[in-house]
Structures are given as C-alpha cells and as structure tokens.
C-alpha cells in the first residue's frame, strides 16, 4: 500500500498535534521532499517525537494519575469535545473502563498509569479506552493483569510509541515499546510503534521492537505495527491478528508464537534494490520453533505483502521454524528463492515452509528453495482458519457492543 496523507483518517475535531503534523506531512508529500515510498507514520512520528523530546521530556505529560477535571477552555472549542458526552460509562459486572486522554480530559493521561490501576488478577475485562494521539511511553502489561483491552480510535490516529533499541535496552527482547505478559489481551484500532532510527545494512544493536506479545490468547483487530527490524515479537502463546497493518524490514515478525494473521498487510520498508543486484535486505518472518514437538507456527491467510526492497518470506531463526502463506498476494519484492535457512543447510530438513494458492509476481514457485513446499488442500487445511490457534477455546467474535 502506498501511504498518503489521505489514508491518515484524521478528523478536525480536537486540537491534536497530529492534525498539525499531518498537514506538514501532506505538504512534504506534495512537494515530493520525502522518500518515494513514504513509510506510513514514520515521518509523522519522527517529527512529532523529535519536536517533543527536544523541548520536554516524554514523561512530562503528567504523573498520569486520576485527573478527573476537564482541561480548561481556551477558546470556543473545548479540547475535550472529542470525548462522547457522559464518557466514560460506568463499570458493569463484566467490564471496568479506564479512560486515557493525553490532554487530561478523563482519568488518565498515560496508558501505563491506566494499566497500573487495573486490579491484579481481575476476572473482569478491563477496557483501557485511549483517545486520539500518540502516547510516548514504554508500556508493560504484567503477567498479573490478564483480560485487558486497549481500544484506540483508529490505527492512524492513536498510537503508543517509544524508541528503545537492542543496544539501549540491553537486548532485543527488552526493546519493545509495548510488552504484553498478561493473558487474554485484546487491542483494537490502535498502533504500536517503535521510532528508533531505521538501521542501515550491517548495523549492530539497532533491533527495535514495537510490541512483544509474550502471553497466551491475544487478539488484535485493525491495529498498526510500525518499526523496521523486528517490529512484532510474536514471542509465545496463541495469537490472532485481523486486518492489521504491519511495517518492517528485517525479521519484522519474529518469535515462537502460534499465530494466525488474517487479512493483514505487510509493508516492507527495506531499501530499494537496484535491478540486476541480488542483494536481499529484509525478511517478513523469522519463526523460532526449536523442536518438532512444538505446535507453534505463523500462518498468513488472505494477506498481502508489498513495499520496497528485496526480501524473503522467512528465514529459519530456529531449526524447526514453521510458516505458511495461503491466499496471499506477494508483490515482486519477494526474492524468487523465497526462503532462507539462516546459513545452516541442516535446517532444510526440519523447517516447514508452505505456500498455498498465493498470487502476484512474488508468488511464483518455480525458483523457490527445494525445501519450500507447495501445499495441497489437505496439507493446507490445518492452517486456514482459527482452528490453527484453537480459536474455539478462547477467541471471542469481535464484540461491537464494546466499541465506544
């Protein structure tokens, strides 16, 4: 997908900095001062991030604690007008609501402070409703806080961003802007972003995770994931991603999760490779199944892969890496060989890399590595629906009653 200012569905309500910045980005785009393929939020966020961090520390948005008063009217337009009247609604027997607005229009000004306020081991669902804006903070949902929902207002208008790298956080696993260790996590219409500088080829320590999903039974609807190297750490457990937008370059979905990606767009921001060169500068997946006894794997159904660079579908981070692409459109950025064994030919015998009914210039199987499998209907069937992640045991249908 080509990104343009018009895809950023930003309304005129409120006085969000995003509105201003989107105008700047639109101006930049129209004067063609930015990349040929502007990565969707990247410029917007970098601008926003730098302009903020140069003047004030990201934490100076406030302690984030219960501030129930509404921000003062400075003008006829109340900056709190985009909160629906009577919002947030009262808690019920089954749900508690935690309202986050960075202008101080409801209870919390940071996402982490709302998470901190959720009761430990609550069996109720705790809905953290997050108003438009970019929240510059590193957020952790601990293991003791299951059943949390993050409800944003749109993936181009609501996001959580930080800029740790493997270097700055002492390891890729700790670089995530948002880390989820509580089970039964749900996110809707929100973006998870790492704004660390995009690594140059050969850079060391520049991995920068946007989200680490290190808990079982997590589901994402209409979410954005923006980063470069290692955007989604799909660490462990069963996960579902539907209609999500995932941007990255090297290994942009990695980990040992068992996950279904349905109707998602994967956008590579790897550098364009000149015609004639055989350079590979990115990989969609690096699945980390370590043994044949594990039932983990990544399955992509009805997805699309586009963007820039020349990339592999996957490389074997661990010997039993397992990935399937079904009914997925692949642009010409996919290298003809498709897959890579991480320099260990022994892994050719143990990985499971399947393709089924894919389309597009990158989907041709004629030049694929010998261990890539063209799956038949029977072989593909276990990967094609939510049964792959035992969805009947835990995956709730999208509950529109919970959308405010």
Ligand X SMILES: *[C@@H]1O[C@H](CO)[C@@H](O)[C@H](O)[C@H]1NC(C)=O
DSSP 94-108: SEEEEEE-TTSSSSB
Q: Is there a contact between 277 and 241 (Cβ–Cβ < 8 Å)?
A: no
Q: Which of 29, 88, 142, 205 binds ligand X (CB under 6 A)?
A: 205
Q: Determine, following the binding rule CB under 6 A, whether residue 188 of this chain makes contact with ligand X.
A: yes
Residue among 286, 293, 169, 294 at smallest CA distance from 233: 286
- Interaction pattern, residues 226-265, with ligand X; x per rule: CB under 6 A: ------------------------------------xx--
- Give CA separation, 115 vs 28, 93, 148, 386, 403, in Å: 37, 19, 8, 29, 19
* Closest residue to bound ligand X by CB: 205
Select the span of 230-238, 313-321, 363-371, 382-390 touching ligand X (CB under 6 A).
382-390
Indicate the residue among 141 and 318 with the shorter CB distance to ligand X. 141
Select the span of 21-29, 111-119, 197-205, 335-343 touching ligand X (CB under 6 A).
197-205
Q: Which of 168, 271, 331, 364 binds ligand X (CB under 6 A)?
A: 168
The minimum distance between CB 262 and ligand X, in angstroms, equals 4
Select the span of 60-68, 106-114, 202-210, 229-237 touching ligand X (CB under 6 A).
202-210
Among 164, 235, 251, 341, which one carries the catalytic annotation? 251
* E-only strand ranges, 14-147: 95-100, 125-130, 133-136, 139-141
H/E element, 379: helix 377-380
The minimum distance between CB 73 and ligand X, in angstroms, equals 10
Considering CB under 6 A, how many residues would be counted as binding ligand X?
43
- Give CA separation, 363 vs 2, 279, 356, 358, 396, in Å: 20, 19, 10, 6, 33
Q: CA–CA separation, 373 vs 353, rounded Å?
A: 6
Q: Determine, following the binding rule CB under 6 A, whether residue 12 of this chain makes contact with ligand X.
A: no
Examine the residue annotation and report whether 216 is marked as an active-site residue of this protein: no
Residue 258, beta-bridge partner list: 238, 297
Q: Is there a contact between 234 and 254 (Cβ–Cβ < 8 Å)?
A: yes
Q: Determine, following the binding rule CB under 6 A, whether residue 385 of this chain makes contact with ligand X.
A: yes
Q: Which of 196, 264, 273, 395 binds ligand X (CB under 6 A)?
A: 196
Torsion of CA 397, 234, 264, 251, to 10 degrees: 180
Q: Determine, following the binding rule CB under 6 A, whether residue 80 of this chain makes contact with ligand X.
A: no
Q: Is there a contact between 379 and 350 (Cβ–Cβ < 8 Å)?
A: no
Q: Which of 40, 80, 183, 218 binds ligand X (CB under 6 A)?
A: 183
b or e along 188-199 (b: 16 or more beta carbons within 10 Å of the residue's beta carbon)?
bbbbbbbbbebb
Of 309-338, binders to ligand X (CB under 6 A) are 327
Q: Which of 222, 248, 282, 297 binds ligand X (CB under 6 A)?
A: 222
Of 106-165, binders to ligand X (CB under 6 A) are 123, 125, 146-147, 154, 163-165
Please name the residues in contact with 27: beta carbons below 8 A apart, sequence gap of 6 or more: none
- Interaction pattern, residues 20-59, with ligand X; x per rule: CB under 6 A: ---------------------------------x------
Q: Which of 46, 51, 167, 364 binds ligand X (CB under 6 A)?
A: 167
- Interaction pattern, residues 338-377, with ligand X; x per rule: CB under 6 A: -------------------x-x----------------xx
H/E element, 21: helix 17-30
| 73: DSSP letter | P
Residue among 328, 239, 333, 335 at smallest CA distance from 287: 239
The minimum distance between CB 342 and ligand X, in angstroms, equals 22
The minimum distance between CB 163 and ligand X, in angstroms, equals 4
Q: CA–CA separation, 214 vs 218, rounded Å?
A: 9
Q: Is there a contact between 223 and 246 (Cβ–Cβ < 8 Å)?
A: no
Both structure tokens of 140: 């952790």
The minimum distance between CB 126 and ligand X, in angstroms, equals 9
- Residues in contact with ligand X by CB under 6 A are 53, 75-77, 123, 125, 146-147, 154, 163-165, 167-168, 183-184, 188-189, 196, 203-206, 221-222, 262-263, 301-302, 327, 357, 359, 376-379, 381, 384-387, 398, 403
- Active-site amino acid positions: 251
């Amino acid at each position: 997908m080509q990104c343009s200012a018009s895809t950023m569905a930003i309304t005129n309500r409120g006085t969000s900095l995003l509105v201003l910045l989107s105008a700047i980005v639109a101006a930049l785009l129209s004067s063609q001062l930015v990349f040929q393929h502007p990565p969707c939020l990247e410029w917007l966020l970098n601008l926003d991030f730098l302009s903020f961090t140069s003047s004030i520390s990201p934490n100076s948005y406030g302690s984030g604690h219960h501030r129930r008063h509404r921000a003062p009217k400075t003008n006829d337009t109340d900056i709190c007008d985009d909160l629906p009247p009577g919002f947030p609604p009262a808690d019920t027997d089954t749900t508690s609501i935690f309202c986050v607005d960075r202008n101080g229009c409801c209870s919390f000004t940071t996402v982490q402070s709302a998470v901190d306020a959720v009761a430990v081991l609550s069996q109720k669902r705790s809905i953290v409703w997050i108003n438009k804006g970019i929240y510059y903070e590193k957020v952790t949902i601990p293991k003791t806080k299951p059943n949390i929902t993050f409800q944003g207002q749109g993936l181009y208008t609501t996001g959580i961003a930080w800029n740790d790298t493997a270097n700055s956080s002492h390891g890729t696993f700790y670089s995530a802007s948002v880390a989820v260790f509580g089970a039964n996590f749900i996110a809707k219409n929100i973006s998870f972003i790492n704004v660390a500088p995009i690594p140059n080829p050969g850079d060391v320590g520049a991995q920068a995770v946007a989200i680490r999903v290190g808990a079982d039974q997590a589901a994402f609807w209409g979410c954005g994931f923006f980063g470069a190297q290692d955007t989604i750490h799909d660490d462990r457990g069963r996960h579902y991603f539907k209609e999500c937008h995932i941007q990255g370059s090297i290994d942009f979905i990695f980990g040992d999760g068992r996950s279904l990606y349905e109707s998602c767009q994967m956008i590579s921001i790897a550098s364009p490779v000149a015609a004639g060169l055989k350079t590979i500068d990115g990989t969609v997946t690096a699945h980390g199944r370590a043994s044949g006894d594990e039932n983990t794997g990544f399955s992509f159904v009805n997805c699309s892969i586009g963007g820039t660079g020349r990339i592999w579908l996957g490389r074997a981070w661990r010997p039993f890496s397992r990935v399937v692409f079904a009914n997925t459109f692949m642009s010409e950025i996919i290298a003809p060989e498709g897959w890579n064994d991480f320099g260990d030919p022994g892994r050719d015998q143990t990985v499971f890399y399947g393709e089924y009914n894919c389309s597009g210039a990158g989907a041709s199987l004629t030049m694929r590595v010998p261990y890539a499998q063209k799956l038949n209907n029977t072989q593909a069937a276990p990967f094609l629906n939510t049964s792959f992640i035992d969805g009947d045991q835990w995956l709730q249908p999208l509950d529109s009653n919970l959308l405010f």
